[in-house]
Amino acid sequence: MNLEFKNKRISGILTILPSREVKFEDEMDNYNFSRAKSLKLKLAMGYNKHRIVEEGTCASDLLVFGMNHLINNNLLNKDDIDALILVTQSPDYFMPPTSNIIQGKLGLKQDVICMDINQGCAGYILGLIQSFMLLDQPEIHKVVLLNADVLSRKVSKRDRNSNPLIGDGASITVVERSSEECTIYGSIKMDGSHADALMIPAGAFKMPSSVETAEMKEDANGNFRSLDNLVMQGDDVFNFVQREVPPMIESLLERADVKKDDVDGFMFHQPNKFMLDKLADRIGVPREKMPSNIVANFGNSSGVTVPINIVFNVGEKLTHESKMLCLAGFGVGLTWGTLLINFSNLHFCESIDY
Amino acid sequence: MKEKIVTILNGLRPEFDFSQPVNFIEEGMLDSFDVINLVTELESTFGISIDGLDVLPENFCTVDSIMNLLKKNGVKE
């Protein structure tokens, strides 16, 4: 589905990362890899270190901490917030919505829309799409988009498919109307027939958690996980990304009448270095224009990787320069989406540790 | 070419005999991470870049299928 948004802008991004850093080497003995194979994979996949929350830390903890940082430093006036959109797969509770909990903890006004969206790797794209749409309402002037996931709590430490790359994190993005004429082009697609490619089978209403779902079992490749854990069909996801994402990016740029050379950066979701390098080659952009260093430094935090990517790689420049960035997210759902946005003179674009 | 491929495969999973005429993927001799390591080793050994669309199990399930992939990328036998 092709989308266009008129006169909207991102005015600030803050990422919040758990201060606890775990090194790949310290976890290698958990997996059924030889040391040599682990070290080869470290290079190819970009495994190095990842940020993991302490036991018991929730998405709301990271976000309330980040919101208080912005409010206390006069980077955000809480009375100006007309909508609070949270994209997460790790809510505090099934009910009530975590966005309502955050609104209550921050003491935001009642004249506000709070909304939880369940999305994963494309969560930043979907959250921005929702934010842009809300800004078409005459009484909504400022939307705060929250993205957060603490999925390390749902990953088996003995699952070499997922554990080395998973990371936790959160982001806060302020979205407003732009006083300058501009168009943001976007596109998003879904394929729920492959919804099982990335999932946590147990723990909700279809398969409630039980003693049976918590039982650790070994798969064909020697990974140990339970039905309560995240499971990923990595090769299926890889093939889907290589097949579906390049034509979507080509179509987006063609619609926007923008050449690849004129895009300053392709700030994509960060599944692993190997997948991103292959994706850059397929799209036909230099690998250095598509950063793939987030898994190595922080881990894959699902919908939060795109803002972490932006802040880590170009954040400092965005506070005093203009840059045309192509964003893309792809994975859970399956969902894949992209946005082409001109970032200019952000009020803040930084990261803090929790 | 064939000898180099077998040497790479033996280096990845020395516990298996890759001279057997079996499907390496179906027999569990190569998992998806082995395929990633295999791709990077083939690329550095033969100086090629394998298209992401070709990173499919069927292209790595036998020595012959790997040879066909290399030939597609311009590697001479």
> Taking CB atoms and an 8 Å limit, are A44 and B36 in contact across chains?
yes
Let me know if residue B64 belongs to a domain.
yes
What contacts A104, CB < 8 A, 6 or more positions away? Answer: none
How many CB pairs (< 8 A) connect A and B? 50
Q: Best of B33, B40, B56, B58 to disrupt the A interface by mutation (most A CBs within 10 Å)?
A: B33
Q: Is A239 on the interface with B (CB under 8 A)?
A: yes
What percent of chain A shows pLDDT beyond 90? 86
- Contacts with B, A 133-172, CB within 8 Å: 160-161
Confidence of residue A55 (pLDDT cuts 50, 70, 90): very high
Instruction: State pLDDT tens for residues A219-254.
Output: 887 889 999 999 998 888 999 999 999 999 999 999
The whole-angstrom distance between A308's CA and the closest CA on chain B is 25
Pick the CATH number of A1-354 from 3.30.1330.60, 3.20.20.70, 3.40.47.10, 3.40.50.1970: 3.40.47.10
Chain A residues lying within 8 Å of B57, measured CB to CB: 235
Residue of chain B nearest A161, judged by CA positions = B33
As for how many domains chain B has, the answer is 1
Q: Residues for chain A: how many in total?
A: 354
Q: Which of A41, A43, A281 sits opposite B52 (nearest CB)?
A: A281
**Whether pLDDT at A287 is above 80:** yes
Residue of chain B nearest A220, judged by CA positions = B28
ipTM above 0.85, yes or no: yes
Give a three-class secondary structure readout of chain A: CEEEEECEEEEEEEEEECCCEEEHHHHHHHCCCCHHHHHHHHHHHCCCEEECCCCCCCHHHHHHHHHHHHHHCCCCCHHHCCEEEEECCCCCCCCCCHHHHHHHHHCCCCCCEEEEECCCCCHHHHHHHHHHHHCCCCCCCEEEEEEEECHHHHCCCCCCCCCCCECCEEEEEEEEECCCCCEEEEEEEECHHHHHHEECCCCCCCCCCCCCCCCCEECCCCCEECCCCCEECHHHHHHHHHHHHHHHHHHHHHHHCCCHHHCCEEEECCCCHHHHHHHHHHHCCCHHHCCCCHHHHCCECHHHHHHHHHHHHHHHHHCCCEEEEEEEEEECCCEEEEEEEEEECCCEEEEEEC
Chain B residues lying within 8 Å of A161, measured CB to CB: 32
Residue of chain A nearest B56, judged by CA positions = A239
Question: What is the structure's pLDDT at B14?
Answer: 85
> Taking CB atoms and an 8 Å limit, are B55 and A279 in contact across chains?
no
Question: What is the structure's pLDDT at A288?
Answer: 95
Q: Is A45 on the interface with B (CB under 8 A)?
A: yes
Mean local confidence (pLDDT), A321-343: 97
Q: Is A195 on the interface with B (CB under 8 A)?
A: no
CATH number of the domain that residue B48 is part of: 1.10.1200
Confidence of residue B33 (pLDDT cuts 50, 70, 90): confident
Question: What is the structure's pLDDT at A86?
Answer: 98
Which residue range forms the structural domain that includes residue B34? 2-72
The whole-angstrom distance between A80's CA and the closest CA on chain B is 46
**Whether pLDDT at A269 is above 80:** yes
The whole-angstrom distance between B4's CA and the closest CA on chain A is 18
- DSSP assignment string, B18-73: TTSSS-TTTTTSS-HHHHHHHHHHHHHHHT----GGG--GGGSSSHHHHHHHHHHT
Mean local confidence (pLDDT), A146-166: 92
Question: What is the structure's pLDDT at A333?
Answer: 95
> Taking CB atoms and an 8 Å limit, are B55 and A242 in contact across chains?
yes
Q: Is A243 on the interface with B (CB under 8 A)?
A: yes
Instruction: State pLDDT tens for residues A89-104.
Output: 999 999 999 999 999 9
Q: Kindly list the residues of chain B whose beta carbon comes within 8 Å of any beta carbon in chain A.
A: 12, 28, 31-33, 35-37, 39-40, 49, 51-53, 55-57
> Taking CB atoms and an 8 Å limit, are B37 and A44 in contact across chains?
yes
- Which sequence spans correspond to the domains of chain A? 1-354
Where on the phi/psi map is residue A82: left (φ > 0), alpha (ψ -120 to 50), or beta?
Answer: alpha
**Whether pLDDT at A135 is above 90:** yes
Cis peptide before B69, with omega less than 30 degrees from 0?
no
Global model pTM greater than 0.90: yes
> Taking CB atoms and an 8 Å limit, are B32 and A234 in contact across chains?
yes
Min mean pLDDT across A13-27, A135-149, A219-233 is at: A219-233
Mean local confidence (pLDDT), A75-99: 97
